[in-house]
Chain A
Amino acid sequence: MEQAIQAAISGALQGSLFALMALGLSLTWGFLRVINLAHFGVILLGAYLTIEWAGPTGLGPLGVLVVTVPILFVVAAVIHLLYDRFEVSELNSLLISYGLLILMIQLVQNYWTADFQRLPGDINPYATRSVSVGSLIFPLPTVMAALFAAVLVVGIRLFLDRTYAGRALQAFGQDRQIAAAFGIDHRTLGILLAGASGATAAVAGTLFTLRGTVTPDSAMEWVGLVFAIVILGGIGNVAGTLWAGLLVGAVSGLVAVVWNPATSPLVVFSLVVLALIFRPQGLFRRKAAH
C-alpha cells in the first residue's frame, strides 16, 4: 500500500514536469489557434542550452534561466511571427511546426551529437537530493518541477483573469473577428503570448536536465504524453493542464509499479481515448464565463 502511495505521488510529481511542457502548448492552441509542435524543439533547446552554459558561466542550472528565458522567448515569438504572417490554419500549423520540429531536432543533433548528455554532477546539486515526508521519499528535481508548475499556473491564471491583456486574449480565443472588431490588437498580444510559452519551455527544459539525460530524440518522446495532458486538461485551460499532468503522472506511476512499466503508455492513451469520447472538452471544464 505504501509502495503504491509512493508510486502515485512520485508519478504525479513527474507528471507536473510534463504539465509544465504542456502549458505553453495549451495556451497557444487555446488562444491563438495554432498547434505548435515546434514547442518541443524549444524545450529541447532549453535543455541543451542549460547543459552547455550551466557550468562555464558559473550560473548553475537555475541561474542559466536568466539567459535562456529571454532567448527562447524570442525564438518562440519569431516562430509565431511566421504563423501570423501567413495566417496558417490549425491543421497547417501542425504540418509547418512538424517541419520546424524535425529541423530543430536535426540541428541540435548536428551540434551536440546524438549521444546522451547530462549536467555534470558538480554543478547539479539537485540530482542526488531528495525530500522525505514521513516514510515517503521524493527526488528533489521532481518536487521543484511541481513547485515551478504550480507557480506558473497561478501566475498565468491571474494574468488571464486580472489584466486587460489577459482578458483580451480570452476574447480573442473565443472569437477572433469579434475581438478584432472591438479593437483588440491580436498581433502584438499573440506574439507576446507565444513568447511567454517559449519562456515556459525554457523552464521546462532546464528542469528536465536536473533529472537525468537528454538526447535529440527526447523531444519526440515527450510529444505523446504532453499532448495527452493538453487534451485531458482541456485546450487552453491552464489549471486543467496541471491537474491532468498530475493525474496522468500518478496513473502511469501506479500502473508501472502495480502492473509493469510497459503497459503504462497503453493505459494512459486508453484514458485519453475514453476522455475524448465522454469529455471532449477535457476533464476539468471551466465554468463558462458568461
Chain B
Amino acid sequence: MRRERGWILIPVLAVLVAVMPQLRDATGFATSYVILASELLFWAALATSWNLLSGYAGYFSFGQGAFFGVGVYAMAVLTVRMGWDWWQAILVGGVLSTVLALVVGFIAFRLRSLRGEIFALLTLALPFILLAVARLNDAIDGGQGLTVPVPKVPGWIGTPQDFFFVVSGAVAVVAIAVSYWMSQTRYGWALFAIHDDEDVAEAIGVPTFSHKMYAIALTGVIAGLAGGAYALRVGFVTPEGTFNLRVPVMVIVMSVLGGRRHWAGPLVGALYVMILQNRLQTLKLEGWSLVILGVVLIALVLLAPDGLMSRFARRRWTVAGVAVLGVLVPALAGAFGGDFVWSVASGLLLAAFVGFLPARRTEAGEAGSGAVAAQGEWADAPASADEVVVETVDVKKHFGGLKAVDGVSIQVRSGEILGLVGPNGSGKTTLVNLISGFFPPTSGTVKVGGVDTTGMRPHHIAHLGVARTYQIPRPFPSLTVRDNVAIAIMFGREPKSLHAARQEAERYLALVGLAGRGDDLPGGINLHERQLLEMARAMATRPKLLLLDEALAGLNPVEIDNAVEVVWRIHRSGVSIVLVEHLLRVVNQLATRIVVMNQGTVLASGEPSVVMRDPQVVSAYLGRSADAQGH
C-alpha cells in the first residue's frame, strides 16, 4: 500500500509545457523536436482519454476516432465557416463531443443485455457513420477537406509551432491530471470494480450506470479538446484523415503498451509509439509502422497484458535511472550523429529492457497460512427491538415456463438467523437474487425496512442495508484483499475516501480473521479465505441483513467450524442473517428459524427441531421411502 507520489510529474509537465517556448530560444532546441513533442502530447491526451473508459472500466471502445473527429470538425467548421476564435471552437468541440459520448453511453449502458464485446463492436461502427455524414454533408465538409487558419499567436509564445505545442500540452496535462485524480478517488475505483465484476460492484453499492456515464463523458470531453488541438496543429482536415483506422489503433496500442490500470500508462505508451514512428520515418520504413504496431499489440495482449507501467513500478528508481543515463550518455557523447531522438530511443529501450528483467524473488511476507483468529473490537450489539428487516410478499419469479420462485412470503426479523434450506433447484438462490434486486420479480413485492424495492437498482438496495455473498466467491481479481473490502466501504451509505476506507478495511478483515492477508491478491488465497473475504466485503457495506448463499460450500470440517464462528460473530454485532445452506449440521447449529423451500414455494417454516421432523420436509429431502421408514 505504497503512497502514490507520482503526481509530482503532473505539475512538472505543466511547467515544462508553459516555459518551453522561452527555453527553446535559450537552448536552441530544433523546431522538429517541438513538432514531435506536440504530436506526442496530443496522442498522450487522446490515449489517456480512451483509457478512462476502456482501460479503467474495461469497456473497450474502437470509437475514439468519432469523439476526436467531432472536436476536429468543430474546430474546422467553426473557424473556417463561422469565423470563430480558436479557443471558442475548441471548447465547443469539447462540449459537442461530450454530448455524443453521453448519447452513446446512454444507449449502450441502458441495455442490460449489452456485453463488453457488443459495446466494442457498436463503437467500431461509430466513426464510419460520422465519416459518411461529414463526407456527404456540404455544411460540414462535403469531401473537399477544410483548411484551418493559423490563429494569431500570443506574444509570449513566439512561433505557431510553439503555440501548437502549448495547446496540445495543455490538453495533455488536463487529461493526465484527470486520469490521476480518478485513480485516487472513488470515481476511478468504481471503474476498477466495474472492470473486474460489474454485478458484484453493483451489489456492494457502486452506482455502475452513473459511473460509466461519468467515464464516457470525460472520455468525450478530453477527446473533443484533443481533436480541436489536432485540427489547429495540422491545419488541413479531411473526413478520411479524421474518421479512419489510425486513431483507434494508436490509442489502443499506446494504452495497452503503457498499461491500462495506471494513470501514466497511456503517456508512457505514447512516448514509445511516437519515438518508434518517428524513427521508422527517418529510416524510410513508414509502411511498416502499422505492421509493427499490430505485432506489438498481439504480443502484449498474449504475453504482458499489464503493460510497461506495472513493470516499471516494481523498480521505479532503477528504471528511471537507466532511462536518464540511456538518454544523456549518448546525447552528451554525440553518438548517433548528435540526433537527440536516437538518444531518447536508446533510453526508452534500455528502460523497457530493465522493466522486463525477471523480478527478484520477493519472499511472500510472513507466510500467514490459513485464517488467523480474529481480533478487534467487535462489540456485541444489543438485540434491537423486534422489527421486520426484510419482507417478501407473494413474490414470484418465472423464467419462461419455469417457476423458479412461485409465491413466497417470508419475513426476516432483526436478530434472526434464518436458515433457508431445500433441495437443489428449489429457488433459494433465485430468492436471494430477488431480495438483493438482481432479478425484478415477475409479481409480488420485496420490502427492505418497510420500503418497497421493486424496480430499484441493486446498489440502492445495498444502501438500504442488504448485503450478499456468492455461492462461488467473486472477489475483484485485480484488487488486493484489503482493497476488495475498502471499495465496499468507499461506496457505502456514507461515501468515504480511498485512504479512510483502506484504514477501516482492517477492522472487517479482522472480523473474519483475514488480518495480515490484506496485501494478497484474491488469486493467492484459498477457497476458505475467499469465502471469508466475501463475508468481510459484505459486512463492509454495513448491512442490516446479510444473505449468505452457501458460504460454507466445499470446506473441510475444521474450516467449517471456523466459518461458523465467524457467522456467530457477525450475528452478534447486530446483523440479521439469511443462511442458504445444504449442510444441515451448520443450519441446526446456527439458525434460529428455518424456512424450507421446495419447487419454488415454502414447504415449512418454524423452529429448527420441529421443522426438520416434518414428514413433508423429510420426504422432499430424502424421498418417500426414507419418510416411510421413519428416518
- A interface residues, Cβ below 8 angstroms from B: 35, 86, 88, 90-92, 94-96, 98-103, 105-107, 109-110, 217, 220-221, 223-224, 227-228, 231, 260-262, 265-266, 269, 272-273, 276-277, 280
Contact = CB atoms under 8 A, between A and B. Distances in A.
Contacts, number: 111
A102 B251 CA distance: 14
Contact of B287 (A94, A95, A102, A110): A110
Given A262-B132, A273-B107, A231 B118 contact: yes
A285 B76 CA distance: 46
Interface in B221-278: 244-245, 249, 252, 256
Given A86-B302, A95-B252, A269-B129, A102 B121 contact: no
B583 interface: no
A273 B122 contact: yes
A228 B121 CA distance: 9
A101 B298 CA distance: 11
Interface of B: 58, 60, 62, 107, 111, 113-114, 116-118, 120-122, 124-125, 128-129, 132-133, 135-137, 244-245, 249, 252, 256, 287-291, 293-298, 301-302, 305
Given A96-B302, A217-B245, A277-B111, A231 B136 contact: no
Q: What are the nearest 6 A-B pairs in CB distance?
A: A103-B294, A224-B125, A99-B297, A262-B136, A280-B113, A106-B290
25 contacts: A88-B302, A91-B120, A94-B117, A94-B120, A95-B60, A95-B252, A96-B302, A98-B249, A98-B252, A99-B298, A99-B301, A100-B298, A101-B294, A103-B295, A103-B298, A105-B290, A106-B287, A106-B294, A220-B245, A227-B121, A231-B118, A262-B132, A265-B125, A269-B129, A273-B122
A106 B295 CA distance: 12
Nearest to B298: A99
A86 B300 CA distance: 12
B301 A103 contact: no
B118 A276 contact: yes
Nearest to A86: B302
B615 to A, nearest CB: 35
A266 B132 CA distance: 9
Contacts of A261: 136
A40 B371 CA distance: 52
Contacts of B133: 262, 266
Contacts of B297: 95-96, 98-99, 102
A277 to B, nearest CB: 6
A107 B289 CA distance: 10
B291 A107 contact: yes
A99 B107 contact: no
Contact of B256 (A95, A107, A276): A95
Nearest to B249: A102
A109 B290 CA distance: 11
A21 to B, nearest CB: 14
Nearest to B296: A99
Contacts of B287: 106, 109-110
B581 to A, nearest CB: 26
A224 B302 contact: no
Nearest to B62: A98
Contacts of B256: 95
Contacts of B252: 95, 98
Contact of A223 (B111, B125, B129, B136): B125
Contact of B111 (A88, A265, A276): A276
B293 A90 contact: no
A221 B128 contact: yes
B290 A103 contact: yes
B288 A110 contact: yes
B57 to A, nearest CB: 13
B294 to A, nearest CB: 3
Contacts of B124: 223-224, 227
Nearest to A227: B121
A217 B125 CA distance: 14
Contacts of B58: 91
Q: Could you say which of A88, A91, A228 has the most chain B C-beta atoms within 10 Å of its C-beta?
A: A91
B238 to A, nearest CB: 13
A93 B60 CA distance: 12
B564 to A, nearest CB: 32
A92 B60 CA distance: 10
A102 B245 contact: yes
Contacts of A269: 125, 129
Contacts of B107: 273
B136 to A, nearest CB: 4
A92 B128 contact: no
B420 to A, nearest CB: 28
A146 B439 CA distance: 44
Contacts of A98: 62, 249, 252, 297
Given A223-B125, A228-B125, A269-B125, A92 B301 contact: yes
A224 B114 contact: no
Q: Could you say which of B60, B62, B133, B245 has the most chain A C-beta atoms within 10 Å of its C-beta?
A: B245
Nearest to B246: A102
B118 A103 contact: no
A35 B294 contact: no
A110 B60 CA distance: 29
Contacts of B121: 35, 227, 231
Contacts of B129: 224, 265-266, 269
A242 to B, nearest CB: 20
A140 B293 CA distance: 40
Contacts of A220: 128, 244-245
Contacts of A280: 111, 113-114
Contacts of A262: 132-133, 135-137
A272 B119 CA distance: 12
A224 B291 CA distance: 22
Contacts of A260: 136
B270 to A, nearest CB: 17
Given A106-B294, A276-B118, 5 more contacts: A102-B290, A105-B290, A223-B128, A224-B128, A269-B125
Contacts of A99: 293-298, 301
Given A88-B302, A100-B294, A106 B288 contact: yes
B545 to A, nearest CB: 32
A221 B256 CA distance: 25
A224 B245 CA distance: 13
Given A110-B288, A262-B133, A269-B125, A91 B116 contact: yes
A272 to B, nearest CB: 8
